[in-house]
Amino acid sequence: MLKILQSLCLLLVCLPVFGEEPAVGDAKAKSRYSYRDDHDPNGLGKFYMGREIARVMGHQGIAWLERPEREEEERLSLLVECLQLKPGMVVADIGAGTGVISVRMANVVAPDGKVLAVDIQKEMLRALEIKCKELGVENVQPVLGTTQSPNLSDDSVDLAVMVDVYHEFNLPHEMLQAIVKGLKPGGRIAFVEYRKEDPTVPIKEVHKMSEVQVKKEALQPELGLEWVETIEKLPRQHVIIFAKKAKS
């Protein structure tokens, strides 16, 4: 693991920083969002459905993603169990970063399944490729997304997973619509977010989400999702799962 982390850090020293993409320009999209000068310093000052959108963790935060104590803090192995993965599934890891979760899921869905590791930062995807090569993982496919779309094929994914990332989406409504479009009918989407209801969770407030807020945003009729279950087995996060409604 130390060798992999050293390789990833060396790579990131040599890479440029890519800026945010501009927001969509149509009037309806703009009306979904509001802006305030007085806001959390860890947020963008951009609000969606009463929630401030958090600043994105850039590739400079790779050491935090790869920290050894993360398994103890977040119980990643238990998280993977909660997702009820099966061999042969196609899973999209949205905001995959360096692939900490992607690699774990890839081992479960192997040999015929695969993980589509989606990120909007080319630096993260390059780091992911290094990790997979060093670990010998061959069923993780890097996918360069945008702030509006994960670039998934329509009706192609059994499960989309977002681990500590949805709250950072610059265009959450547009992104969620695009993710749902990529799900097969009946396909699931899992929001893994730090519990805002729990003040003892040592994470900045703008990087937490309550179950109520997640449901408020995910259950908008035009998205075509239905709530399946909320899993509260992890030390700091809840896993809130929805499914794509079958076409009528």
pLDDT tens sequence across 94-128 = 999 999 999 999 999 999 999 999 999 999 999 99
By the 8 A CB rule, do 192 and 168 touch? Answer: no
Q: Which fold has domain 2-9+27-244?
A: Rossmann fold (3.40.50)
Domain ranges of the chain: 2-9+27-244
Residue 66's pLDDT band, with cuts at 50, 70 and 90, is: low
Average pLDDT over residues 73-87: 95
The reported pLDDT for the residue numbered 26 is 65
For the sheet with 43-48, list strands across it.
Answer: 33-35, 43-48, 51-54
The reported pLDDT for the residue numbered 12 is 41
Indicate the burial class of 93 (C-beta count within 10 angstroms; 0-12, 13-18, 19 or more).
Answer: buried
Average pLDDT over residues 131-156: 97
